[in-house]
Each structure stands twice: as structure tokens, then as C-alpha cells.
Structure 1
């Protein structure tokens, strides 16, 4: 065995087992959430004291369970997940049998699973349940829950598995009306090839890099895989803002925001004691595009409507976008007309200060 062969063996083993570990976590998460959905539906239909809890069942459950991963919102989602994907009973049953040394099911639950085995829509060219269980993570499946048309859902299931899409890529293709474009295209095969060739397949890190996995494993979102560059910039940016003085108070880092049914994360959140407002800072280690400004505007509108208290002024947003040899700084300050420009100049860092900071940090981190 030569040195190159040793490198090849280690690299291949590392990559394969990383992938298998990621898939194992995703399968466990999918099985857990589907089973919790089953338990809830079973209780709603056959529970001895189901009438006692009624519409408050999920709220009471969340309160008693008292776990971040078993919140009211998640329990509601698990229930919907079970009802929308009954065909997963067979692969989940087989999965649980394979895990029998660590998890034993009661007879009643086992019977419920067996009763669901044949629930498959034979009228459609559907994927086999095992293909769905093996090929799609729980996060993918929750995205597909919003698609009620069976043929359309099956289309995205197949394309996602075939292209090894990340959750974000699946979301992007749904939002770009890929299914509808295929129906209108004169050359659907070429469109499919074009879409799949443009996609970057998911890596093992991509497979586990989402909020559901972190909640399932009981980890903090701040442990989420990020580039060394981005982490270092945020560390120093936090120090830079606080060292400016002038009333900056750090409220949160990686502030989690729930808008509709989706979570977003704001890099840094400050409160300014003199300006009497929150200051939102988002760092993008890439070239500026209009989507960044749109996202910051959404954050500002959210904080203005839900987070302002009596006496507060509307929030201020600062969006920092970096390039290797250049710093572009874009201010998104929508809705802050009542704050005097002089106050901005006096108490906030100037564009020049921020540009100088980023250029300096980028050089130090090269």
C-alpha cells in the first residue's frame, strides 16, 4: 500500500461514514416525529379522556413536555406530518425493528403501525415508501407538506431524491414553480437536465444543518456549521460595536425570529440607550444582492410591529456585505424618519468606519 492509496482510503471512509451518520440522524428524527403524530391522532380518536382536553390538547402537551423540540408548533406539525404521509408506516416499522435493542414498542402502537401498511394511493405513480424514508429528511418532508396535489408532491419527491437537493434547494425550486414550468416546457427533459446540472448536491454537513436536527439533538443553534471567516468577523464586529460606546447594549447573537411558519436568524441585535431603538446587524460574507436588502426590510418590519415597546423609536438595520478585496456597506433604515439625521451621525458608526473595520479584519483573517 503506497501513501496515495492510504490517503484515498481514509478520505473515502471519512466521507461515506459522515454521510451514513447524517442519514441515521435524519431517519431517527423522521421516525420520532411521525410516531409522535401517530400517538396524538390515536389519542384524539380513542383516548379515554380525549374530550377533557379537546382543542387544548397540543397546548397542554407542549406545556407538560416542556421541551424546545416538542413545542406546540412542532407537535402540530408532527400531527400533520403523520396524516399527510401515512405510507411511511412500513419503512418506519422496519426501521424500529432494526433499532429494537434500543426502542421497544407497545402492542397497541405496533398494531396501529401494521394497520397503516397498505395505505398507499395506487392511482398515482408514487414513490415507494422506503424510497421516501431513505431519500428525504424530515426537513424536506415538512416543506412538501404544503403541497396538497399528490402528483405535484410526487414530482418534487422524485426530483429532490434524484438531485440530492438540500432543503433550501427544494424550497427554491418550489418557489420558482419548477413543476409548473415543466408542464409548460416544450422540452421538459432539457429543463430537468438544466435544473439538476445547476444544483450542487447536498453534503453530509448539509444533511444535518437545520433547526430540526439541532432541536432533536439538544444542541444550540450557535453550534451550527459556519465558516471560520464569518465567525471571526462576527466576534470582532460584536467587540467593535460595543467598544464604540455611545449607548450600544448587546441583546442577542444569532437571534431566532419566527415569521409565519419559518425561523430566521439575525446575526447581532443591539439596543441603543440614547436613540431608544433596537439596532439589527446582519453580515453576509458574499457580494451584495437585492435579496439581502429585502430580508433586512422584513426583519425591520417584524421588529417594528412585534418588538417595540412604549417609548421606543423604530429599529435601525445595518447590512454588511463583504468581498475579498473590498467592503460594501448598505444601510437599510426603512421606517426611521422620526430619528434625526444628526443622531445617526453622532451615535452610529459611519459608513467609512464600517468599511475600514471590514477591510482590516479581512486582511487579518487571510
Structure 2
């Protein structure tokens, strides 16, 4: 199964004005059609986006919507994120007719019915994250333990970052690529690196990086981080400043950064490193558009988020204003029992 290959740019709408609600719904409809969803599902995605965005506008502080396609005709995530005040009674909020303002608003109960999957986490005083997932017909659903945002520099349409994930019997292999700089040349370099990744995602990671290095010569070049997850362990091989962190409920279990250099320019001979990875942890790969200090004092609420929400939380709360930003989060590989 391939998930999140051919990554599309994450659409992002700050919900600070009534017009943002319509804008978010339009982006969701466009993305749903591009993801190959049936027209009835396209309409469901638009209605759900409207509901979530209106809730942000009425109730939330610093609310935003994120729309992320899983890949070419592979499904869709619609994510609402805010910085508070949080939902005091999330179980009650999921019931039809519940409202904190006395309005009719079927609210989260309607959202749960509209989505194929819905994940919600909230903490009063901190904020709320909601991910509604839609599956494309005739395709395998995206893995439940996988999350991604791929955000261009504000004001840019193209993103110089990219990512891809492939699942196979031998384990999950993931790539996050940060083309140097931003704009069209950076996007071209990262797209070429992902093309090479897709051609042989199951080979030895150092060899895959060397193939990328040859393919990117003459381009802008890129930082690249490759990850292979197997039960109980993760293999990491990277060049440049894409970071790996292993995250558990009780803190950051491990950190690793790629070797100095640029893939396509002055890449050293790559080396792979294997780290132990508990089953209840998650691997986070992110470009330097996500401020690395997020991990220095990460609160338990953030560390305990499921992958699809943790990726969004990093993009929402820790994104740099000066660069493209990508966060890919994968759960640990499971042992067959």
C-alpha cells in the first residue's frame, strides 16, 4: 500500500472573518475532487468544512483550517486547529443538538456523521484539534497512524518541501525533502527527490540517498531524511537539516539530524543509524520550517496526540514565517501476533 505519495500542498485558511468560512469550503471541494472522491462525498466534505470553520469563527482563538490530500486520488484530511478555549465536554459536544451558544447547531455530531473517520482532541485552556478523514472509492484508506502537513511559505503557491510514504511487508519507508530555499526551484528539487524515492523505496537507505544525489546535481539541491520503521526499531539516514524525533507520552525518546551537506551538491557518503522505538511511540520527521524548539518543553497534551493531529499541531503552532514547513508523523511499526 502506498499512502501520501505524490504529496499535494496543504491548503491553509486562517479563520478570522466570515469570508474565510466560504474560502475554506471551496478549497475542500476542490481538493476532494482532485483526490478522486465521489461528488456526494465532495459535498459532504464542503458541508463539514463549513461546520468546523463556523465553529472556529464563533468560539475559537487563532483558529485555522487545513486541507491535505493523501496523494493522487487517495483521500483527504480536513483539520481544524485552534489555541483555545477548548471543549469542556467533548462527549456531549458529539451529541446532536449540543451547543454552547443556544443556537441549533448540530455541531460535532453532524461532523462525525459526515466524515468517514473523525478524530478529536481538546484541552480546556489549550485548544482543540479535529481531523475529518475521507477515503477515495476503490483505494486502500490512508493508514490511521500517519499524519502530514506540507505548508508553503506564506504568500507562495508552490512548496519547496515534499514527502512520501510507502508501506510494504518489510516495513514502512518515509521521506521528507526540503528543497533549498523556496519557490519553483526548490519545489522542482524536492519533486525530483520524491520521484527517485518512488522508483525504489525498499532499497538500502544510503543507496537511495546516493541515487537522489546524482539525480539532483544541477538543481537547487535539498535536505533529505529517509526513515524505515520496523517492529521495535527505526532506521534513519539523512543529509541536511530535516530532523527526526521519537515521541512518547512521557517525552522525547530520541533525536537525530542528518549529516551536514546538501543532496545534489556536496553530499558526504551517507550513513544509516538504527534507533530503538517502543510500540507506543511515534516518529516525527520535519523540515526546518517547523521551529525545532517545539520539542524542548513539549507538553503532555501535544506529545499524546495521534499522528494525524500531531502533524497538524506542529504546523499550526510551530511553523516558521520564513520558510516552507513540513511535518510527517508515523506511528511505530507493529509486530504480527
- Tell me the TM-score range normalised by the shorter chain: under 0.3
Query: Higher relative contact order by CA 8 Å / sep ≥ 6: 1 or 2?
Result: 2
The answer to which structure has the higher strand fraction is: 2
Structure exhibiting the larger radius of gyration computed from Cα positions:
1
The answer to which structure has the higher helix fraction is: 1
